[in-house]
Amino acid sequence: MELRDFFREHPRAAIAFSGGVDSTYLLAEALRLGADVKPYCAVTAFQPAFEQREAAEFCALLGAELTTLELDILAEAVVAANPPDRCYYCKRAIFTALKERAAADGYELILDGTNASDDASDRPGMRALRELGVLSPLRICGLTKAEIRRRSRELKLPTWNKPAYACLATRVYAGETITADKLRRVEEAETALREMGYSDLRVRLWHDAARVQLPGDQLERAAAERKAILEALKPWFGLVLLDLEER
């Protein structure tokens, strides 16, 4: 099935929008194909501020009005407890709220940007999507991440080469309670490193230390700038570890 066939069969839908490569391409194609679609973005403690800004900017670029839903995801006790299948409970809470808001706006069908490269066996959140009847057009149409990036580049979308970015909750190891303070420290540390010119990075909590993960081509520079990195992360972490395995 091609996307034009999908939207011919489903001409009206709400789109769960994050501003990432997949959801931006899905929204752009839906609009290009004449579908009546409306993007919704859930704002939680798990999304960094820059992603929220970019989501709004990309919707404005595409001429779509973005609706944001502010959710206190840490009020969900099972999510804050951070079990191995935390993503299932998080997705269920977010998409339940999204479905309720979209239905109130007259949109009964919910779409998301899951693609054909996403491994269902490694993503408990996809079970929540199935249970809630959320459809994933990119996956249904067999579009892989590489193909989506290629098509995004052809459409001149600014996200075509945007690095993948997992939510901040993934910086806290399973079984360790997630708190707003932990997420804030991680986000501030990652922002500081990006301002130093590092990219596609992660700062993971290792007990109370920052475990910095970088692409292989940035590791040598990071080692050379050890003192600068320690100083930049000092407000949030007393101990900083550089993971020598490339991200």
pLDDT in tens, 181-234: 999 999 999 999 999 999 999 999 998 999 999 999 999 999 999 999 999 999
What number is the average pLDDT over the span 170-183?
A: 96
pLDDT of amino acid 120: 64
Domains and CATH numbers, the chain: 3-154 (3.40.50.620), 179-242 (3.30.70)
pLDDT of amino acid 124: 79
User: For residue 13, is pLDDT > 70?
Assistant: yes
pLDDT of amino acid 165: 84
pLDDT band at 126 (very low <50, low <70, confident <90, very high): confident
> Whole-prediction pTM value?
0.92
User: For residue 158, is pLDDT > 70?
Assistant: yes
Q: Tens of pLDDT along 95-125?
A: 999 999 999 999 999 999 999 988 765 677 8
> What is the residue-averaged pLDDT of the chain?
94
pLDDT of amino acid 121: 58
What number is the average pLDDT over the span 166-177?
A: 94
Least confident of 8-12, 81-85, 124-128, 152-156: 124-128
Q: Tens of pLDDT along 59-70?
A: 999 999 999 999
Q: Is 73 exposed, middle or buried (0-12, 13-18, 19+ CB in 10 A)?
A: buried
